[in-house]
Amino acid sequence: MGVRKRAPCALLLRRGAAPFAGQAALPGGFVGAGESLEDAAQRVLRDKAGLSDVRCEQLYTFGEVARDPRRRIVTVAWLALLAPAAIEAALEAHPGVLCATLAVPEADGVRDIHVVDRAGARLHLAFDHEQILALALERLRGKLDYTAVGFDLLPSFFTLRQLQDVHEAIRGTTLNKPAFRRRMIDKGWIAPTGARETGTSHRPAALYRFRDVT
Amino acid sequence: MGVRKRAPCALLLRRGAAPFAGQAALPGGFVGAGESLEDAAQRVLRDKAGLSDVRCEQLYTFGEVARDPRRRIVTVAWLALLAPAAIEAALEAHPGVLCATLAVPEADGVRDIHVVDRAGARLHLAFDHEQILALALERLRGKLDYTAVGFDLLPSFFTLRQLQDVHEAIRGTTLNKPAFRRRMIDKGWIAPTGARETGTSHRPAALYRFRDVT
DNA sequence: GCAATAGTGTCTTTCAGACAATATGTT
DNA sequence: AACATATTGTCTGAAAGACACTATTGC
């Protein structure tokens, strides 16, 4: 998942074979007998989206008996945090990859999300993958304030406005600008780089970088 | 897991067979081919600890290749929230069940927890089960303020002091009494029952109950 | 009355939201 | 200079921490 055009988005693959032929689905694969779950997630991401060195965290394990109409499949879902450059790289690396936007009709919860393509048409994902995406967004919302997940959705140098856009996109609300600045700086999570934005038609913003505090 | 004597605790089983013979371990079992993960968790809890109707939530899936020295095992760990009565019931229902205390040496994190028996002696759990317990405690801490998990660790009627004890045990810190009361009441999560504590040698506290706000 | 804990009132501090003023780039 | 956004200052209100005070039960 990532943030594009001030909205949360996810990379999907168009399915060729049945079941759910022609529908979009999350990239997935089987875990090898001698492979850890995280290694498998990284391998799938590399093979299906051409991405490597992406921060991933385990999301949830889906084990309902009839999730897959063919046979019993237990899926350990992982959430990959994609910076804008990674999203563009994946779209270029593989023609089957698409980037869909997650629209959240209700403001407070993520019970019901709509996955829409670039044109705004709703996509119905294969299997229970919409449910997986809804949980992923909920997880992002929950961790945004307490962990550094927001920075993994940005380039290494970013402006405070970009950071706020990411937070607003994930939360689905607007935030108070001075309060947001104060909070981020007070947390000690970001450090000024001395560099400034370029190519704007107005005052350029200062560029910050994530400062790991561990 | 539950809270006993103002400290977090967990139900464990003493292992009979190798590997880790004689050491304590979390109750576990294999998932049936036609059984969901949650159903399997409830079944294991019933068969190994004599407990039913316990609130459970999925914790994490552990998939390191060498977790089990015999062969590759992927474990979907579930966290069961036990009220005091459930802990006592499990201890009586099965002689092999023991209730161990989780001691957290550091105040801020749960990187390193000590599992100790009733006498205070440290237990070394089988497999990666100490790591699982550490993650469970971390999860409880994280959810305590935002969800109703605290109430699942209490009887249906409880005093504010009992509720505060649960929060303090899980967090490993003391809390301010008036502020805690205000917060709980303002959240709308609890409702007075009109009943009062009995059997105390001092002023009895009012009994509250959890009030589901959904 | 005494001991012990329940329950409340109030002051202070901290922090987020609101709003507006100032700063600094491009065109 | 006009414009657009960055950045900062300040006021206000909500909520937590600290601390002390009052209340109520058993003995």
DSSP assignment of chain A: -EEETTEEEEEEEE--SSSSTTSEE----PPPTT--HHHHHHHHHHHHH---S-EEEEEEEE--TTSSSSS---EEEEEEE--HHHHHHHHHH-TTEEEEEEE-SSSS--SS-EEE-TTS-EE--STTHHHHHHHHHHHHHHHHTTSSHHHHTS-SEE-HHHHHHHHHHHHTS---HHHHHHHHHHHT-EEEEEEE--S-SSPPPEEEEE----
Interface of A to B at Cβ within 8 Å reads 31, 33-38, 58, 60-61, 63-65, 72, 74, 76, 142, 146
* Position A50 confidence tier, pLDDT thresholds 50, 70, 90: very high
Nearest CA in chain A to B31: A63
pLDDT for position A200: 86
Residue range A105-134: mean pLDDT, rounded: 89
Average model confidence (pLDDT) across chain A: 94
**pLDDT tens column, A181-194:** 999 999 989 999 99
- Asked if the model's pLDDT at residue B112 lies above 90, the reply is no
Question: Could you tell me the distance in Å between the CA of residue A179 and the C1' of nucleotide C13?
Answer: 18
pLDDT for position B107: 63
pTM: 0.94
Q: Which domains does chain A have, with CATH numbers?
A: 2-144 (3.90.79.10), 155-210 (1.10.10.10)
pLDDT for position A199: 87
Residue range B42-46: mean pLDDT, rounded: 97
Question: Could you tell me the distance in Å between the CA of residue B186 and the C1' of nucleotide C10?
Answer: 18
- Asked if the model's pLDDT at residue A125 lies above 90, the reply is yes
Cα separation, A70 vs A77, in Å, equals: 19
Interface of B to A at Cβ within 8 Å reads 31, 33-38, 58, 60-61, 63-65, 72, 74, 76, 142, 146
Q: Which residues of chain B does A36 touch, with a Cβ-Cβ cutoff of 8 Å?
A: 63-65
Contact (CB, 8 A) for B137 and B59? no
Residue of B59, B70, B72 to mutate for A, most A C-beta atoms under 10 A: B72
* Position B214 confidence tier, pLDDT thresholds 50, 70, 90: low
Residue range B106-122: mean pLDDT, rounded: 85
Contact (CB, 8 A) for A11 and A22? no
Among B34, B63, B146, select the one facing A37 at the smallest CB separation: B63
